[in-house]
Amino acid sequence: MSPLRKRRALLTCAVTSAAAVATIALFAPPVAADPPPKPINVSLTGTNGVNRIQDPGRRCADGGSGEYRHASIESALPDNNLVLSAALPAVIRGSFDVHHDGDEIVGQTISPAANQAFLQGTESHVTMSNQRGSVQLRLTSGDCAHPSLSYDGTTAAGAGTWTIDANGTTGSYRQATGGGTFTLNLGLAPGADNPWTLGVQGTLSVLQPHLMVEVLATTWGNLGVDYLTRRPTVTYRITNTGPGDTFAPKLVSADSPNNGVNTLGPVPQNLPDLQSGQSTVISVRYQLALLGGPCALVILGCQFDTTLGVSMPDALDQATSPPPTATVHVRTPDLPPPLA
């Protein structure tokens, strides 16, 4: 190969490589940070506690877990406790196994363990649910050796910690994670109508949705008149490719990085809820400038890029800010529409 031809080949290779690198950089999906864990701050009071006394039980000193009282509560989550969703009503149900060592009298005094109690995390739990699914919190407070709740025979009170039960998450809250603390004051008299208060603090995270955008078609609308006015309509498919579901997603932008391509809309557009793997189809019209830009004068087979931004709130109604975006390549039709 002559030196001149060799130089031309190297130059062509360099230009081709540069174009390929630019394409990869342009169409690489942007990385959007997940929203922070959602704070939980629930404070509830009720008088509908229902209790069953499990007696007798094997004392802690004898290798058991003491006697216990099984307490159940239920309440609607108030509107100001926006734990699972700001848009949906929710219910909280609690089940507590309050263990204690009985009211044994030693000599002339009550056994020190008799005025203390504890919860075991495998047995005590609180479940929050709405029409999207449920999240179960496992509550723990002390043990036989270290009882952490006060107990006077009719009321248990104190604090502890909670974690998400991996097998207790359903629906759009599947595989949720989180943890925190709780406070409890629980009437333990036999039967129903027992007073109780429950406070739950901590954070909660759910699986996140992800954005993918594809161009399905580019057409001339309005019976072909849009060809004369240089206004192509691009039809996109928007897919949630993430492991989590999105609720009330919205197209918030559909711009072009190319000069001479302006968005006509409609933007914004409300989109349907998208479970993991689901898609929806939308259309957006653009105005191509007569002079300048990628479609100067000739618009048949013209190519340009568009970047769509889609707000995708998760099952907790939290969305990333700014919303995720995706850039795709557009090509107008190679032929004009029939104008006869």
- What would be the CATH architecture of the domain defined by 208-331? Sandwich (2.60)
3 state SS of 226: helix
On the question of pLDDT at 114 being above 90, the answer is: no
In DSSP terms, 243 is beta-bridged to none
pLDDT in tens, 223-252: 889 999 999 999 999 999 999 999 999 999
The two tokens of residue 183 are 């406070």
User: Taking all residues of the chain, what is their mean pLDDT, rounded to a whole number?
Assistant: 84
In the chain, what are the domain boundaries?
38-205, 208-331
Minimum mean pLDDT range among 106-110, 151-155, 209-213, 325-329: 106-110
Q: Phi, psi (5° rounding) for residue 279?
A: -130, 165
On the question of pLDDT at 302 being above 60, the answer is: yes
- Contact status, residue 304 vs residue 289, Cβ threshold 8 Å: no
pLDDT in tens, 51-89: 887 666 666 665 556 677 889 999 998 765 568 887 788
190/235: higher pLDDT: 235
Q: How far apart are CA 128 and CA 243, in angstroms?
A: 21
pLDDT in tens, 248-286: 999 999 999 999 999 999 999 999 999 999 999 999 999
Q: What is the pLDDT, as a whole number, of residue 136? A: 95
Q: What is the pLDDT, as a whole number, of residue 36? A: 87
| pLDDT level of residue 26 (50, 70, 90 thresholds) | very low
Q: What is the pLDDT, as a whole number, of residue 68? A: 76
Strand 232-240 and strand 191-205: pairing?
unpaired
Looking at the whole model, is its pTM more than 0.85? Answer: no
Q: Degrees (nearest 5) of the Cα angle 146, 198, 66? A: 30
| pLDDT level of residue 154 (50, 70, 90 thresholds) | confident
Q: What is the pLDDT, as a whole number, of residue 102? A: 62
| pLDDT level of residue 157 (50, 70, 90 thresholds) | very high
Q: What is the pLDDT, as a whole number, of residue 27? A: 45
Sign of CA dihedral 6, 7, 10, 16: negative
Q: What is the pLDDT, as a whole number, of residue 282? A: 98
In DSSP terms, 285 is beta-bridged to 233, 265
Q: What is the pLDDT, as a whole number, of residue 127? A: 94
Average pLDDT over residues 207-232: 95
- Contact status, residue 173 vs residue 151, Cβ threshold 8 Å: no
